[in-house]
Structure 1
Amino acid sequence: MTNSQNSPENAPDPAFLASLTTWLKSAAPQIGVPVSLNKFSTGQSNPTYRLQTDLGTMDGRFVLRTQPAGLLLKSAHAVEREYRVMKALATSPVPVPDMIIACDAPDVVGMKFFIMREVDGETLFDPALASYSVDDRRALFYAKIEVLAALAAIDPVAQGLEGFGKPTGYIDRQFATWTRQYRASETETIAAMEFLITELPACLDREIPGFCIIHGDFRLDNLLIRNRTEVAALIDWELSTLGPAFIDLSYWCAMLRMESSWPIGGLGGINRASLGIPDEAQLVSAFCAKTGLDRPANWEALIAFQCFRFASILQGVLKRHLDGNASADNAASVGGQARLVAMLGADILSRYLRKTI
């Protein structure tokens, strides 16, 4: 987490650091004494800070992740789930930061939090990877497929995640959850969202193959990249759960369909082949080859579902901005993208429905 585009700023109240320091002296003395705590400027959900201790250099660099201040939606900002899943994955092929300690008592600093070791890696935000060579672009895209395939191959129970999610009913639960979250964050009527909420349930396959750990927000800026083509860590596991193997892949593919000009942009309108970037069919084919699974027949409806889900997430970002407790500086523009993403999803679902009539 050492990228200049995601540099820490905005030190918290000194009382926050003082309370944290007192708690750490007994709870985690091995990480040293905190000397500074600075907030990263990006990250839309859970505030994230670089914690520097007196151990010096990288040995003394940690990351503190907390719930945001203010009234929280039920089941949102589950930092304890992030900590649990990354700690469980420490012995797996999926790269994650080393977990240090978690605190579920909100009275220490005012909210739940956890601390992990900082990873030496870069956060990227441009899915077109403009500064990359053709070969490096292709290599990084397929490196991401390797991570997804590795995640899909893990037995959640054997990895210590029994009870982390229910073995069946993922699609219906997610649809109900994100409809509820959207209604709780709704600031205006978005016709495309109403269309998706009405039409999606009849289109979604409840028998998507595979059962695995789901990251829940698999996209470029939740990966830390080292040496240009190596995934050093997969971070931001707040939305993680258990469910079908194609959920993370379909979410990433939906993200890539978004227009490149949007605040959180994709590759819409960009000639992927000229940049050496695999197209969607190639990414899906590579994942299927690695996992031995077949692509769901209703793939387009699943992409529309992921647009609905992401639009609901963005609406929550906008609502937190309007309520004054947004985590990132660009929350207004990012949250305002909810309508655009919903419109994309509605268009995809409309075309899918026309083909199935």
Structure 2
Amino acid sequence: MSEEYYERLVDEDALGDYLREHLGDVDEYAVERHQEGHSNETLFVTWGDRELVVRRPPPGETAETAHDVLREYRVTAALTETAVPVPEPILACDDPDVIGSDFYVMDRLEGTVMRESESGAFADLESRRRIGEELVDTLAAIHDVDYEAVGLADFGHPPSYTERQVERWGQQLMWAFDVTTEEREVPDIYDVGAWLQENAPEDHPHTLVHGDYKLDNVMYATDDGAPELVGVFDWEMATLGDPRADLGWLLSYWRDPKDPEPAVPELTATFMEREGYSTRRELVDRWESRTDFSFEHDRFYRALAVYKLAALGEMFFRRYLEGNSDDPMYPLMEDRVPALATRAKRIVDGDEPL
């Protein structure tokens, strides 16, 4: 990471002054950028004997409604007394004069986040089974939240959620295409978008949805030797809507042994293809049994998920072209987004079944 980019992320002196004002003075203060994410920026902060996390948007122009960290703070705060495990939120700041953007502060959890590789502590068959079960059971807990009781009744508008998702992510693509089409076109994505518009389910359950629920957005701990899901992160896309969209998103990242090569190998873990892990069908069956919802229209929800991944990738590509990120993943989206569009087309055509 360049020094110039880091300075655009955080003014350490200003952040320190803000934390000192709200949390009191300390002898030790340090800031480190977390390198794993590819959307909102995460900073690890040592504040005396406390370990904190600061979340802020990336610098530069972003698509409207993307990277809303204060929305993330609100939903996390609302869930602290529910069955959904979340880190404790501490502070929220909407003054861009502090570090250049909105941001919020939360406690840092301890545990394992599985990204590219399997944790050695979870490499046995029973732990592998529990990874998927805990993941789905926690998703079901999110969908079971009484969002009115926790103060989120105005957090979204569930009716017509699926239609709005198609429209919204189409708009995100158009925002990105304003710049990226000078480099290359992505013809398949237009066909997928048209199919999604024509096939969006009109009736669906109304629940809290996470919006970005997947294996590397949760943390596991092993206090008793078995993996237990202890934290759900990255709530910036949360709203009230259709829980089946969350499940479709999770499935778009989950691998079965029979699957073709991933469209974005740099962002796709494949270790869940190993013996002991649940299949996508088993995850669906467990979610249905935990929620009493059925995963109808699975092609729509799975294709929508990959369509959204393509839109995110294209937004990343625009940010790279405009010099608003130093993430080495972003320039790869020139080729990876067309591959995602092809995958979405396979799902739509029935060539990539559940």
TM bucket (normalised to shorter chain) is: 0.7 to 0.9
In structure 2, the partner of 1:84 is 74
* 1:25 counterpart (20, 23, 40): 20
Distance 1:33 1:180, change over 3 A: farther
Partner Cα separation in structure 2 for residue 321 and residue 138 of structure 1: 39
Q: Is contact 2:113–2:220 with CA below 8 Å preserved after alignment?
A: yes
Shift of 1:326: 2.3
Match of 1:101 in 2: 91
> Residues 313-339 of structure 1, C-alpha deviation per residue, up to 9 Å, x if partnerless?
111122212222226443333674222
Matched, 1:213 2:217: no
> 2:288 maps to which residue?
288
* TM-score, length of structure 2 as denominator length: 0.87
Distance 1:236 1:336, change over 3 A: farther
- Which consecutive unaligned segments of at least 5 residues does structure 1 have? 1-7
Alpha-carbon separation, structure 2, partners of 1:96 and 1:214: 14
Contact 2:210 2:238 in 1 (8 A): yes
- Which residue in 1 is equivalent to 2:266? 263
Q: Please report how far the alpha carbon of residue 301 of structure 1 lies from its aligned counterpart in structure 2 after TM superposition.
A: 2.0
Seen in structure 2, the aligned counterparts of structure 1 residues 86 and 336 have a Cα distance that, compared at 3 Å, is farther
Secondary structure in 1 aligned to 2:129? helix
SS of 1:36's equivalent in the other structure is: strand
Identity %: 25
Alpha-carbon RMSD across the aligned residues, in angstroms, is: 2.6
**1:112-127 correspondence to structure 2 within 5 Å:** 112-126=102-116
In the alignment, residue 268 of structure 2 is paired with which amino acid?
G
Q: Which residue in 2 is equivalent to 1:3?
A: none
Per the alignment, residue 251 of structure 1 pairs with 249
* Partner of residue 138, structure 1: 129
Q: How does 1:93-242 map to 2 (within 5 A)?
A: 93-126=83-116, 132-186=123-177, 187=180, 188-208=184-204, 210-227=205-222, 229-242=227-240
Q: Distance in 1 between matches of 2:286 and 2:2?
A: 39
User: Which amino acid in 2 is paired with 1:87?
Assistant: A
| 3-state SS of paired residue (2:350) | helix
Structure 1: which amino acid aligns with 2:34?
F
CA displacement at 1:127 relative to structure 2: 6.9
Deviations 1:8-58 (A, max 9, x none): 9979449811111222222x225846611110112111111101112x2xx
2:133/2:283 contact within 8 Å kept: yes
CA deviation map 1:227-257 (0-9, x unaligned): 2621121101111111112121111112225
CA distance in 2, matches of 1:245, 1:184: 27
1:279 matches 2:279: yes
Select the residue among 24, 30, 41 that pairs with 1:36. 30
Deviation by residue 1:234-282 (Cα, 9 ceiling, x = unmatched): 1011111111121211111122257457111155xx894x511211221
CA contact (8 A) 2:52 2:108 kept: yes
Instruction: Give 3-state SS (helix, strand or coil) of 1:221's partner.
Output: helix
Q: Contact 1:9–1:38 at 8 Å: present in 2 too?
A: no
Distance 2:327 2:110 in 1: 22
Q: Which amino acid aligns with 1:126?
A: E
Contact 1:37 1:49 in 2 (8 A): yes
TM-score of the aligned structures, taking structure 1 as reference length: 0.87
Structure 1: which amino acid aligns with 2:265? W
C-alpha deviation, 1:183, in angstroms? 0.9
1:32 and 1:24 mapped to 2: Cα distance? Answer: 10
- In the alignment, structure 2 segments of 5+ residues that lack a partner are none
Q: Note the alpha carbon deviations across 1:127-156, whole angstroms, 9 max, x for none.
A: 766861122111111000110110111111
Question: Against the structure 1 CA distance between its residues 231 and 30, is the aligned structure 2 distance closer, same or farther, given a 3 Å change threshold?
Answer: farther
Output aligned runs, 1:1-12, within 5 Å: 12=6
SS of 2:32 mapped into structure 1: strand
In the alignment of these two chains, the number of paired residues is: 337
* Distance (whole Å) between structure 1 residues aligned to residue 144 and residue 137 of structure 2: 11
